[in-house]
Structure 1
Amino acid sequence: MSIDWAHEEYLWGLAFPILLLAWNLFHRSRASARRKGAQAQWATAGFGGIKQASRTRARPPKIMLCASLALLVVSVAQPRWGTEEQLTFERSREVIIAIDLSKSMLANDIKPNRLERAKLVVEGMLDTLEGESVGLIVFAGTAFLQSPMSPDYQILRGFLDDINPSFIPQGGTNYTAMMETALDSFEQSDGMADRFLIIISDGESLDSGWESRAQMLKEQNVRTICLGFGTKEGSLIPDGSGGYLKDPQGAVVLSKLEPGTLTQIARITGGIYREASVWVDLAQVVEETVEKGKAALKEREREDAMIERFHYFLAPGLLLLLLSIYWEFPTLPKARTIKRKEATA
């Protein structure tokens, strides 16, 4: 049976309990020699009949202390022997959510409005995820990464509560900037995961050039899930002061769902487009995208690995340490009451 050590260099620590035991034995041998010499001198002086005061408890060498320290050092070095099949790699998901913060997302053709419904859909997805890395991009006339990819969903939830169109003063819906930001964010990872870009928008955009960015997403193995929030009938856009948003000519703006761009993005990247005028189970849509791409949600590789055995040394080491503290270290003498003998008359 071969033994492997995770931290073989820690075994140098065994020198300490060995030296401690050697020093203790040496010290005890010198003390014993001194006692014998003293007894011989007393015998020569005629006091041989006087017995040496007995000690309350003999003190053995600090063997238990040294043994406990040695066992603890071995446990820290993490000995391993024997093999078992272990998971060495797990292919999981990386998800970036891109939320459109243009003013048209405040239209209330979906109650309470498009943006608030989008937040609820994302919250529902976060409740079903387990350890996936999720990031958040907000975009309108420009785009930026609001929350880097992380498995800590509480941070993301905090951002979701606060985002609104005032985050990005520059109006419009710039899909090109959003995709460039997503590409930069995905490039920070090692690429060993199923990648998803969830685009939440009403589809209204006049920018061009996004087709090349969508092709780059496909080359980076990023599949898009495009969710169109809004209805074909549309709705007016509140201006925040009790009125409705107007165009430069003074006409009230009617915002409708424009699915054309979102549909094309999904087609180019091999993703899925869904209209979100009714409730959308975003977690289920992710599963459908996985099936469409014919990729496993999680891919696992296993190999034989040596079994950790440090606990075989840690438990007895701690037990011996407690016993040595009780047995090998001297205790304070107990107080004694001396009675004075009364003088007789």
Structure 2
Amino acid sequence: MDIDLAAFHFLRPLWLLLALLGIALPFAWNRARLSALRAAPVAPHLLKHLLITPDDPHRLRPIHLLAALLILGGLAAAGPTWQQDRPDFLEDRAPLILAVDLSPSMDASDMPPSRLEAVKHKLHDLIQRRAGAKTGLIAYAGTAHLVLPATQDPQLLDSFLQALGTGLLDAPGKDVVGVIEQAKRLLAAEESPGTLLLLTDGADVEQLDAVAASLKGSKLQVLVLAVGHEDGGALRDAEGMPRTDSSGRPVLGSFDAEGLKKLASAADAPLGSLTLDDDDLDWIELHAQQHLQAVSGDEQDVHWKDAGYWLCWPLALIAFFCVRRGWSVNWLAGLLLACGLGLPGAPVQAGALADAFFTPDQQGRWAFEHEHYPQAAAHFHDPYWKGLAAYRGADYQAALASFASVDTAPGYFYLGNSYAHLLKYPAAIAAYKQALKLQPQFPEAAANLALAIALQKDFEEQQEVAPQMEPDKIEFDKEPGKGKEGQMDAQKAASDALWLQNLTTSPAKFLQQKFRIQSTRRQAAGAQP
């Protein structure tokens, strides 16, 4: 634990007076004791011969333990701190919208294995670094399409990210204006300023004026991350083989460096490039944080971590000695107890000793704090904590059983999360709505409700165009009355189960069909491609 001495201070310095009292107390006691001896009605030169124990062999007295309690208690209550505290709602406050270019040129191999694969690998690392922060995903080429609204679930986001491919969009071009409009709608729903990250190898210079007009007066910050090199690279097909033209020469992917510079200028956006190390990730997070601070002024509201609770352990140890009779204290046992409290947690196992000193919920909380979630779920009796431990351990069925009996807003929130992980979106939507009914100011539940509604809507759109599978034709090769009687199950595949399976096992197919439906509807409505 590093301590920044330059930032060290006390949150409640007046409590230090209690520590000063603890320092002065032993001196005052010793002075009063000496004064009492001097006031004895015996001549000083005779007093030393009358005392049986003129020298006190006990260096440590109860007054010293009391002084230690006052000193440590005063320091703890004063709130020593040296590190800023960024609560979850502040750390995750800057939504980031990722826009990935799916043009054919993104299959170029100058960034092996391809530009698009390099982008997906880089964004995977970014998503893991931003775990818990709201991140959305947009795919674009000649048209822009929302893949996933801003979500705090990195696994869900990464699964859709890895499904992206250049074959998902047919329209040629680079519709950055459409991306900006999609991002503005997402941030309007979040009611928070955010950042749009464009990952592309070029730009449509004919859109530059429209890009500047679309961003005018908006709190949306745009970052442009260039993907590729000046010399380009060979395009590869789905099997990873180089594409060739009619003469057998490899087809090279384009990289429009000049267009990217013009796009960055039109959007008033910083321009970076994809790197092999994490410098580009640091660059993204730095600009996103600076933009949010510039817009919302979060730097004026600084919170500090109160580190006084670390002094609770020595306080408890001293108090343990204070309540003992006399001085017959087993110091070795106390030392072993103190060391045991500070040792790293080992896998929790129930036993007679643990059962004698700790309740099942206390044992469960210890296991939960040390991330032994299955053991924690087995120990807990409290249904909320039992469900939370099962949820953290990815046992969503057990979590459903526990949260079903918890009639609180957090209980319904995690009930909805469990349903969502099991792809039961209607039930998840109902649970989120109940959580918001009990606690209207619940931003996490509102965000997950919007995400579940969007996923359910996408699922229903797929149902509309799902192929209607006819039952297989059943023929009998025996005349009636001949052959064995038996029961034959015809193959049945309901469209909803089919599309649910496609969504679970192949997000790429789901996205491809979704993009086609959206493009068809836009064309039918007279929207520009």
- TM-score w.r.t. the length of structure 2 is 0.36
1:119 maps to what in 2? 120
- Work out the CA distance in 1 between the residues paired with 2:298 and 2:125: 21
Q: Map Cα deviations across residues 97-141 of structure 1 (whole Å, 9 max, x no partner).
A: 000011111111011110011011111111211432100000011
Q: Which moved more, 1:267-276 or 1:149-158?
A: 267-276
Q: Map Cα deviations across residues 66-99 of structure 1 (whole Å, 9 max, x no partner).
A: xxxxxxxxxxxxxxxxxxxxx8974820100000
Please say which structure displays the higher CA radius of gyration: 1
Tell whether 2:168 aligns with 1:167.
yes
User: Displacement of 1:298 after TM fit?
Assistant: 4.9
Q: Which moved more, 1:123-132 or 1:267-276?
A: 267-276
- Work out the CA distance in 1 between the residues paired with 2:147 and 2:243: 28
Pick one of 220, 223, 248 that aligns with 2:221: 223
Asked if structure 2 preserves the Cα contact closer than 8 Å seen for 1:134 and 1:150, the reply is yes
> Secondary structure of the residue that 1:256 maps to in structure 2?
coil
Q: Map Cα deviations across residues 277-324 of structure 1 (whole Å, 9 max, x no partner).
A: 544544311243257656379557599xxxxxxxxxxxxxxxxxxxxx
1:320 maps to what in 2? none
Asked if structure 1 preserves the Cα contact closer than 8 Å seen for 2:195 and 2:288, the reply is no
Structure 1 runs not aligned, ≥5 long: 1-86, 304-345
Pair 199,88 (structure 1): closer, same or farther in 2 beyond 3 Å: closer
Alignment of 1:182-193 (within 5 A): 182-191=183-192, 193=193
> Secondary structure of the residue that 1:135 maps to in structure 2?
strand
User: Displacement of 1:243 after TM fit?
Assistant: 4.7
2:134 maps to what in 1? 133
Letter in 1 for 2:255: L
Pair 301,154 (structure 1): closer, same or farther in 2 beyond 3 Å: same
User: Displacement of 1:229 after TM fit?
Assistant: 0.8
- Work out the CA distance in 2 between the residues paired with 1:88 and 1:301: 14
Tell whether 2:271 aligns with 1:273.
yes
2:158 maps to what in 1? 157
> Secondary structure of the residue that 2:190 maps to in structure 1?
coil
Pair 227,297 (structure 1): closer, same or farther in 2 beyond 3 Å: farther
User: Displacement of 1:227 after TM fit?
Assistant: 0.9
Pair 140,290 (structure 1): closer, same or farther in 2 beyond 3 Å: closer
Letter in 1 for 2:97: I
Letter in 2 for 1:137: I
Letter in 2 for 1:233: D
Equivalent residue pairs, number: 214
Pair 276,231 (structure 1): closer, same or farther in 2 beyond 3 Å: same
Computed over aligned residues only, the root mean square deviation of the Cα atoms, in angstroms, reads 3.3
- Work out the CA distance in 2 between the residues paired with 1:113 and 1:89: 37
Pair 297,159 (structure 1): closer, same or farther in 2 beyond 3 Å: farther
Asked if structure 1 preserves the Cα contact closer than 8 Å seen for 2:242 and 2:250, the reply is no
- Work out the CA distance in 2 between the residues paired with 1:88 and 1:151: 12
Asked if structure 2 preserves the Cα contact closer than 8 Å seen for 1:89 and 1:302, the reply is no
User: Displacement of 1:246 after TM fit?
Assistant: 4.3
- Work out the CA distance in 1 between the residues paired with 2:161 and 2:259: 25
- Work out the CA distance in 1 between the residues paired with 2:267 and 2:148: 23
User: Displacement of 1:164 after TM fit?
Assistant: 0.4
Pair 288,264 (structure 1): closer, same or farther in 2 beyond 3 Å: farther
1:97 maps to what in 2? 98
Letter in 1 for 2:287: T
Q: Which moved more, 1:87-96 or 1:151-160?
A: 87-96
1:145 maps to what in 2? 146
- Work out the CA distance in 2 between the residues paired with 1:156 and 1:116: 16
Letter in 2 for 1:235: G
User: Displacement of 1:142 after TM fit?
Assistant: 0.7
Q: Map Cα deviations across residues 33-74 of structure 1 (whole Å, 9 max, x no partner).
A: xxxxxxxxxxxxxxxxxxxxxxxxxxxxxxxxxxxxxxxxxx
Structure 2 runs not aligned, ≥5 long: 1-86, 304-529
- Work out the CA distance in 1 between the residues paired with 2:155 and 2:256: 32
- Work out the CA distance in 2 between the residues paired with 1:222 and 1:133: 15
- Work out the CA distance in 2 between the residues paired with 1:232 and 1:300: 43
1:176 maps to what in 2? 177
Letter in 2 for 1:289: H
1:199 maps to what in 2? 198
Asked if structure 2 preserves the Cα contact closer than 8 Å seen for 1:98 and 1:200, the reply is yes
User: Displacement of 1:221 after TM fit?
Assistant: 1.5
Letter in 2 for 1:108: S
Letter in 1 for 2:198: I
Query: Which structure's residues are more often helix, by fraction?
Result: 2
Q: Map Cα deviations across residues 181-218 of structure 1 (whole Å, 9 max, x no partner).
A: 22222222213x4x111100111x44623433344335
> Secondary structure of the residue that 1:235 maps to in structure 2?
coil
1:286 maps to what in 2? 284
1:213 maps to what in 2? 211
Letter in 2 for 1:145: L
Asked if structure 1 preserves the Cα contact closer than 8 Å seen for 2:208 and 2:266, the reply is no
> Secondary structure of the residue that 1:127 maps to in structure 2?
helix
Tell whether 2:254 aligns with 1:256.
yes
Pair 245,164 (structure 1): closer, same or farther in 2 beyond 3 Å: farther
Asked if structure 2 preserves the Cα contact closer than 8 Å seen for 1:179 and 1:214, the reply is no
Tell whether 2:106 aligns with 1:108.
no
Tell whether 2:232 aligns with 1:234.
yes
> Secondary structure of the residue that 1:124 maps to in structure 2?
helix
Query: Which structure's residues are more often strand, by fraction?
Result: 1
- Work out the CA distance in 1 between the residues paired with 2:209 and 2:90: 32
Letter in 2 for 1:196: T
Pair 273,218 (structure 1): closer, same or farther in 2 beyond 3 Å: farther
